[in-house]
Amino acid sequence: MAAVKQFRIGVEGGGEVSALLTRPTKARRLLVLAHGAGAGMIHPFMEMLADELAGVAVATLRYQFPYMEERRRVPDAPAVLIATVVAAVQAAAEAAPGLPLLAGGKSMGGRMTSQAAARSPLDGVRGLVFFGFPLHPPNRLGTMRADHLAKVAMPMLFLQGTRDKLADLKLLRPVCTKLGSRATLHVIETADHSFHVLKKSGRSDVEVLRELAEKAASWAEGT
């Protein structure tokens, strides 16, 4: 069983945002989990991922970015997004003192977390987890979005699908190789950016979510 607590987080330059702490009874880690650009913290993917992570003893703190809190379509400026990540990490440390921290998120949420970590160390965070790192826009191949990762000093886990149109693996693999021992790439066959898999894979989306959670938990043991 996991207890769920709702609270608010103050963000410098962004007012207050909502947050949800899901903490299983025997939690071993706490992952500060940011949402993607187009869906907030209560999107079914985020809800199910939090449940699967709870099942492997990883608590989560999900939170909204200000634009999502205010139901605006366009994401906030990077400075506000980064400030929100920093505030969420601080809130997580206060909400669950003693639990080792991880941070990351889905797509944009993961990328903004890495940008925050590249700018200044995130207090107490031992590693970053990316659920679909958005390396480039659809059909616009490039690696500029990964340039800042060279400044991230902590371990990073990239969970990526082979059909992800926002991260061509032919480009992402060299990025991870260049990062050396700090980067771990785990590939999900036939999964797209939302981690939907093809029927021919013989697997369900729920099974994929479980794999994501299990991989994140096992990887975290080494951070």
pLDDT in tens for each of the 223 residues of the chain? 788 999 999 998 879 999 999 999 999 999 999 999 999 999 999 999 999 999 999 999 999 999 999 999 999 999 999 999 999 999 999 999 999 999 999 999 999 999 999 999 999 999 999 999 999 999 899 999 999 999 999 999 999 999 999 999 999 999 999 999 999 999 999 999 999 999 999 999 999 999 999 999 999 998 8
Question: Residue 30 and residue 8: Cα distance in Å, rounded?
Answer: 17
Domains in the chain, CATH or no CATH each:
2-220 (3.40.50.1820)
Q: Where are the alpha helices (DSSP H) in the chain?
A: 44-55, 66-69, 78-95, 108-119, 169-179, 205-220
Q: What is the pTM of this model?
A: 0.96
Strand order in the sheet with 183-188: 2-11, 15-24, 58-63, 29-34, 101-106, 125-131, 156-161, 183-188
Terminal-residue alpha carbon distance, the chain: 25
> Pick from 106, 84, 88, 104: which is nearest to 96 by CA?
88
Q: Which pLDDT belongs to residue 175?
A: 98
Crossing angle of the two packed helices 44-55 and 205-220, in degrees rounded to 10: 50
